[in-house]
Chain A
């Protein structure tokens, strides 16, 4: 054990109360920082999981053509095709063309896990209780399970029934509650002046209210018949092995499949930014607790140094250098910082565990019945780093001042 460290420990213990105050500040700051990050990222991740589970990592929609080539095609081909959105030198046509070919090229990407066709259209749904507008989603029953979490989201009824029954439908919980629909009921879809009767196989809940209030899933071929859009595909829903890469993959995908590729990061930009803002503001406000404990450490050390001028003077006269004196006080800051960080980590982990058991019912953009937490080593690393930088900086400043003390001046002042 170095003599400086030994002396530091004794000085520290002689100032227990003010050191404990600084320590408590660090522990509290680090602990709350961690639990806040665990919660904000926990909810953010649940939101992302909900979004991915409902809409997939990537959505391939609307065919586009570069404007230059499309002008030539217009001259040769007189076929009337609907065109819109002449932005940035491109023309867009809604929906996916040659969906099977597009899917084939999508599978060339090693990150693509599965791709499934979806046809979407507006309908009115009614039973003998009520009529409501709804969105009909025609899906490939087997493939869709690979690009969504629909299977896990069934809350009433059965998936098996849905898969076996060609006329089976899945209704969102919010819509079902409003219309008092139960599994086994038959409901009526109306498009234009035609009506079709289908059977409710099950009720699902994603937790995302906009979805649960309007989406009804049905086999894609049934949907094409009901909506009178044979062979059409509105978009292709794609799941990825590594969802984080969705944003990186998109440009290459777009140029290969010549359709708009919408990754989840872009589709949910607004909500993701909200989560980020909450996370950062929690980070800033809790860093300020750590900052204040840094100030506490600063004043504690400054007071110790003022009270210990005699001790510093004698240490200097019996052979301790200015550097030794600085180290003696920096060690004190270091010990409090490290103990504070370790205890803060423990506090953070405990609070996170407690929070994860707190009941809270949230529906709207996701569904949960308790606080959601995310366990990440990074929260601990960042909290530790912030505490280390703040408190050590606060310790170094008075410690360097202690070294400036002239032993002769102090000793002269003590004799008559």
Chain B
């Protein structure tokens, strides 16, 4: 499968990002170029502090680059306003973080429905059915009415994966999604992300320190000091 004959779903060119106070600001991203295509899983690896999370937040429109362009589905979103970026996050991007960020007052089903409520393109019953289906696919079909804080850490992270897929986004961004999990649960969560991306034809970008997980991705991107050191290559 060659990448050039398809349009990238997420693309950035010459991305620069500075962090910190104006006096002693840190040049974190130093001109990052990247193209992600649907149906592929990408791992970003690199030493702590090299800018992986910063890149992920910037690509996910949670943070703004100082320089460079970001294109989602071919559309330049570098200069979009807050509301447009928020809407793109809701419709096009699913997030999984190291911490699950579930709302403890809501059931697993409701947690998955929260992004759907905001999008509002489905009837409540359809949303609920979809949430159940997603819970089923992450192996929690029997815990649909469980409050989020009544789950184990591995289960919570699986719900977080299901939530990231709630609005069927073309892009899933995961920042050390298995960082808090034991080996068994790490494997379960990774397999979910991997299999679901294939089934749903999504581009999945995973930041990870786990070499096992990185190796099982379609591509490994090595990052050092704010830039990729290797061209995108098959793992």
Contact = CB atoms under 8 A, between A and B. Distances in A.
Interface of A: 3, 6-7, 10-11, 13-14, 310-311, 313-322, 324, 407-408, 411-412, 414-416
B97 A415 contact: yes
Contact of A318 (B83, B99, B114): B114
B118 A314 contact: no
B101 to A, nearest CB: 4
Nearest to A321: B86
B97 A411 contact: yes
A320 B104 CA distance: 18
The A interface, classified by DSSP as helix, strand, loop or mixed, is helix
Interface string B71-107: 0000000000011001101110001011101011110
A319 B176 contact: no
Interface stretch (B57-65, B138-146, B222-230): B57-65
Interface of B: 48, 53, 57, 60, 62-63, 82-83, 86-87, 89-91, 95, 97-99, 101, 103-106, 114-115, 117-120, 163, 166-167, 175-176, 179
Contact of B103 (A10, A322, A407, A411): A10
A314 B118 CA distance: 13
A318 B163 contact: yes
A316 B48 CA distance: 26
B57 to A, nearest CB: 5
Nearest to B60: A317
Q: Sort A-B residue pairs by CB-CB distance and give the 7 closest, nearest first.
A: A319-B90, A3-B117, A314-B101, A10-B105, A408-B62, A415-B98, A408-B63
Nearest to A411: B97
A412 B114 contact: no
A321 B176 CA distance: 25
Given A14-B105, A311-B103, A411-B57, A3 B179 contact: no
A50 B163 CA distance: 72
A319 B88 CA distance: 8
A415 B99 contact: yes
Given A310-B99, A318-B163, A319-B86, 6 more contacts: A3-B120, A10-B106, A318-B114, A319-B87, A320-B118, A412-B53
